[in-house]
Structure 1
Amino acid sequence: MSLIKKKKHVSKKNKKAWRKHCDIKDVEDFLEDQRLEERLGKFEAKKDSELFVVDTVGEEKPEVVDVKPLTLKQKKRALLPQTPKCYEVLLPTSKVQDPNAKRNHVNPVGTKPTALSKLSLKKQFEKGAYLKKVELARKNRRIVRDKKRRIKEIRNTFDKNIWGEDVLEVKGIPSTLCDDFISTEAQLHNVLPEQRLRPKPAPPKTLVTRPAVVTPHPGVSYNPSYQEHQDLLQQVVQHEEKLMKKEAHLHRVTTSLFSRLTPHEKENQWREEMSEGLPKPHNPANSPSTPSDNDTDNEYKAINPPVKNKKKDHKARRKQKERIAERERLKREKIDKKKITDIYKLRKLQTLISGKEKREEALRVKRAARRALVAATAPPALSAHRTPAPQPDLVEPAQLTGDLRNISSTVNLLRDRFESLQRRGALAASKLMMTKRKRLKAYFKPGHKVTDQDVENYLKKKMVKKTTKKAVVTK
C-alpha cells in the first residue's frame, strides 16, 4: 500500500518563495510548443505530402551501382555552394513574418555608385590609369604565354652531360656516404659547411685590364728627389684633410648637437625650474628705492590709470587719411620704378642665364665622361662590399736612408697583393670582421697553503697591468 504524502503548505508572500514553490512546468511546455510551431509551422496547416511518404518500392533492395568514390578536391568543391557553418547563426530560423511589411530596403555599401565615386573614376580615366592597367595586364599575359611556349619547345641540342650533375661527390658529399641505403637528407646533412653555405660567386661580366703591379709614385723611393717627395707629401696632406673633414662632420652632427653641463650648472638649472612660480625671497639690496609714505601723502594711485575714450576730430582723421595715402603713393612709385629698372636689366639677365646654362652643360658633359670612364674601368661587382681604395704611402723625411741596406718596409706585401687582386676583379671584395675577445677576469683563490708573500706578488702583478694599460691609453 503506497503512502500518500501530505501536502505541504508554505508561505508565498514574496516573489522568491512563489517561484520556488510554484510548479509552472505546464506553462513552460506550452510556450515551448508555441515557439516550435512559430519556427516550423503548425501541424494542422501542413499538407499530407509533407507529413507522409508513400512507399511504392516495397521491400525490394535497390540495385547497387558501382560509384567511384569522390576525391578530397571534388568533395571540397561540392561543399562550395552550401552555407558555411560559421554563417548559419546569422540565418533566420523563425518563420514569423516581419511585422513591418513596408520596411525600406537599404542597398549594401558599394552597390550603387555615388557622385564622389563617379567623379574620382572620371579623373582616373582622364589620367590614363585604366589604360595603364590594361597595358600591364596585356604585358603580363604575353610574358606568361612566352614562358609556356619556351617550356614546350623541344631541345634540339644534346650536349648536356646527364651523368655529371648527379654524381654525389660533385655536390660536396663525402665518398663514404654515397651508398644507396643512406637517405638524401643524411647525405646533405654531412656536407662541409664551406661547400654548403658559401655559394660560388658569379663570374665577372666585364674583364678589367689593369696592371698587376701599379707603378708607385717616385716620392716613395728610398732616395727620392726633393720635388717628388714634396709632391707626394702634398697628396698625403690632402688625403688626411679629407679624413679630418669627414671626422669633424661626424663629430658636428653627433656629439656637438648635445650640450654638456657641469654638475653645478645642472643643479642650478634644476633648482630654477623647480622653483618656477614660487614667491622669491625679498632682497632689499636689489629692490628699487620706493618713495616714502610722507612723499605720497597717503594718496591712492592706481598702477594702471583708467583710459579715456577720446574721439578723434575731423582734422585728425583727415591727417591720418593723408598719411596713409602718401605711404601708399610712395610704395606704388617704388614698385613702378623697380619695374622700369628690371626692363633695362633684361639684357643683362639674359646674358647671365645663357652663361650659366653653358657652364652647366659643360659640367654635365664632363661628369658624363667621367662616369663613363669610371664605369669602363670599374671592377665587376662580385659582392656587396666595395673594393678598398689604395692608401697613399709615404716615408717620413727622418726615415729616409739613401741606401737599400738601412731601409725599413712600411707596407705589408701580402695585404698589398690581396687588395690588388680585389681591385682588378680577380677576387670578390671582402670586409674584415673582427671577433670581440671575451674579457676574462682573474681571481685569486685563497687556500690554507697560501702565504702572505703569494698575496703580495699577486697584488704587484695587478698593479703592473693597470699602469701599463694607462700608459698605452695616454700614448
Structure 2
Amino acid sequence: MIVEKKKKRVSKKNKAAWRKHSDIRDVEDFLEDQRLEERLGHFDTKKDEEIFMLDTVGEGKEEEKPDVKPLSAKEQKRAKLNETPRCFQILLPSSKVEDPNKKRNTVKATGSKPSDLSKLTTKRKIEKGVLQKQIELTKKNIRIAREKKRKSKVIRQTFDKNLWSADLEAKGIPATLCEEFISPEAQLHNVHTTQRLRAKPPPPKMVVSRMAVEPPHPGVSYNPSFQEHQDLLQQVVKHEEKMMKKEAHLLRVTNKMFRKVTAQSKENQWIEEMSVGLPQPHNPQTDEQSGSDGEYRAINPPVQNKKKDHKARRKQREMIEEKERKKREKIDKKKITDLYKLRKLQASITKKEKLLEAERKKKEMKKKELAETALPELNAHKAPLKEPEFVPPEELSGDLRTLSASKNLLRERFESLQRRGVLAASRVMMKKKRRVKSYFKAGHKVTDQDVEKYMNKINKKNKLTVSK
C-alpha cells in the first residue's frame, strides 16, 4: 500500500489552495467564542449573582416561601400591562450586540393590537355619537356618488340610427370632410374618439372690415409739410403725456405709498418701540429742567367730588330744555319750507333723471362703437396697439436715399395681422441667457499666442461687466 505524503511546500496563490493547505480551526474557534460572548454578554462584566446561585437551604429541604397575599384578577391584569406580549417577544432582539443605528425610528406594525388609551378614546367617541355621524356621512357620500354616476349614464330611447348606411354623417364625420376627393379611410382617420371634430370658430368680421395696410399720417413722409408735421407732433405729445400719466399713477400707487426712512431713523424708531414700558435711564439734565426733587407726584391732580346745589341743577335742566325746544322748532320750520319746495324738488329730480338717462345712452353708444371697432380676441393675450410714428425735424432729409429706417417691416406686418384678427395675439418670451464659464486647459501644445488670446478675452469681459 502506497501512502501519499503531504507536501511541505505548496502553492497558496489562490483562495481555494490557501483554504486547502492551511489550518485555521483555532482562528475559527476563537471567533466563534467571541461571537457567543457578544450575543450572551461578556463574563467579565457580569455579576456573580447572574452566574452563580447561592444555595442556603440544602438538599432534601424545601425553601420556606414568604406569606404573601395573592393578587386579584384585576391586579394581575394591571401588572401584565407593562410586560411585552408573548406574541411580540419573538420580534425583540435576543443578541447583546448594540444596534449600530441608535436613532432608529420604531415603526408600529399595521394591524397591531390597540392600546388601552385608544380603546378608551373609541369608547368615548361611540358614547358621544361621533363615530355614528362619520359612518352616516360616509354612507351619504357613497349614495350621492352612486346617484351621480347613474345620472351620468345616458340611455338612448330611440333606435333609429342605421349603422350600415352609406351616409358618413351617421358615423360622426362632419360635412367638411365628406368630399369625393377624400377617401373613407382618411375621413375616419381624421375623426377623434369623441366622434366629432371641434367646431372651428368663424373668422372675425374685423378681418374683412379692417384694411390690410392702413394709410399712414401725412406727417410721416420723408418730405412733409410744416402743418402736417406739427399735427403729427401734437398727436405724439398727447400719446406721451398719456403714457407718462399712466406711469406716474403706477409709481404713485406702488413706490410712493411707502415713505423712505434712513437707517439711523429706523434704528431710533426700533429702540423707541422696544423700550415702551421699560424704566427710563436716569438723566440729571432732564431732572433739573423739570425741577423734580425726587418726590413722587401723580400726573393728574386729585379731583374733588363737588356736589351741585339746587340752583345749578335747575339752570342745567332749563338749558337742556331750551336746547331741545330750539331743535324741534328748527325741524318744524324745515318741514314747512320743504312743503313749498316740492315743485322745485320734483323739477330737480326730473332734470337729474334726464341727465342720467342721457349719460347712460351715451355710454351704451360708446360701448357699442368700441365693440364694433375693438380688436378681435382670439386668446387671452391682447393684440399690440399701434403707436404713432414720428421723425424728429433734425432727422428729416427730404430724400429717400438718405432716409434711415425707423421700424422693422416684418414686425409691423406681423402686428397688423394680429390687430386684424388673422393671427392670435402673442407675447414676446425672452429666454434667459445661460452664463457659460470658459476654462483654460493647459498642455504641452499650448503656445504663448494661445495664452495671450485667452487673457485678452478675459480682460474684455471684465471691462464689459464694469461698464454695465
| Map of 2:204 onto structure 1 | 206
| Map of 1:55 onto structure 2 | none
- Aligned partners of 1:449, 1:261: CA distance in 2, in Å? 61
Equivalent position amino acid for 1:206 in 2:
P
In the alignment, structure 1 segments of 5+ residues that lack a partner are: 1-5, 23-107, 110-140, 172-198
The partner residue of 1:162 within 175, 184, 197 is: 184
Structure with the bigger RCO (C-alpha within 8 Å, sep 6+) is: 1
- Cα deviation for residue 228 of structure 1 reads 1.9
Equivalent position amino acid for 2:430 in 1:
M
Distance of aligned partners of 1:313 and 1:451 in 2 relative to their CA distance in 1, 3 Å threshold:
farther
Size of the aligned set, in residue pairs, is 318
**Kindly, what percent of the aligned residue pairs are identical?**
51
Map 1:324-403 to 2 at 5 A.
Answer: 324-378=320-374, 380-403=376-399
Map 1:50-449 to 2 at 5 A.
Answer: 148=156, 152-154=160-162, 158=167, 160=178, 162-166=184-188, 202-208=200-206, 209=208, 210-276=210-276, 277-284=278-285, 287-288=288-289, 290=291, 307-378=303-374, 380-442=376-438
Offset from partner CA, 1:6-61 (integer Å, 9 cap, x none): 89655143357999xx9xxxxxxxxxxxxxxxxxxxxxxxxxxxxxxxxxxxxxxx
Offset from partner CA, 1:136-160 (integer Å, 9 cap, x none): xxxxx9x998x94688545888254
- Cα deviation for residue 429 of structure 1 reads 1.7
- Cα deviation for residue 343 of structure 1 reads 4.0
Distance of aligned partners of 1:301 and 1:329 in 2 relative to their CA distance in 1, 3 Å threshold:
same
Distance of aligned partners of 1:278 and 1:426 in 2 relative to their CA distance in 1, 3 Å threshold:
same
Q: State the TM-score, normalizing by the size of structure 2.
A: 0.55
- Aligned partners of 1:328, 1:282: CA distance in 2, in Å? 55
In the alignment, structure 2 segments of 5+ residues that lack a partner are: 1-59, 77-131, 134-150, 169-177, 192-196
- Cα deviation for residue 417 of structure 1 reads 0.8
Equivalent position amino acid for 2:330 in 1:
K
- Cα deviation for residue 410 of structure 1 reads 0.8
- Cα deviation for residue 251 of structure 1 reads 2.1
User: What is the DSSP-based 3-state SS (H/G/I as helix, E as strand, rest coil) of the residue aligned with 1:375?
Assistant: helix
Distance of aligned partners of 1:221 and 1:340 in 2 relative to their CA distance in 1, 3 Å threshold:
farther
**Cα contact 1:219–1:229 (8 A) shared by 2:** yes
Instruction: State the superposition RMSD in angstroms.
Output: 4.7
Deviates more, 1:269-278 or 1:344-353: 344-353
User: What is the DSSP-based 3-state SS (H/G/I as helix, E as strand, rest coil) of the residue aligned with 2:185?
Assistant: coil
Equivalent position amino acid for 1:158 in 2:
D
Distance of aligned partners of 1:250 and 1:283 in 2 relative to their CA distance in 1, 3 Å threshold:
farther
Offset from partner CA, 1:175-221 (integer Å, 9 cap, x none): xxxxxxxxxxxxxxxxxxxxxxxx99934343322211101111111
Distance of aligned partners of 1:322 and 1:17 in 2 relative to their CA distance in 1, 3 Å threshold:
closer
- Aligned partners of 1:377, 1:359: CA distance in 2, in Å? 27
User: What is the DSSP-based 3-state SS (H/G/I as helix, E as strand, rest coil) of the residue aligned with 1:288?
Assistant: helix
**Cα contact 2:383–2:418 (8 A) shared by 1:** yes
- Aligned partners of 1:15, 1:453: CA distance in 2, in Å? 104
**Cα contact 2:376–2:419 (8 A) shared by 1:** no
- Aligned partners of 2:156, 2:434: CA distance in 1, in Å? 58
**Cα contact 1:12–1:18 (8 A) shared by 2:** no
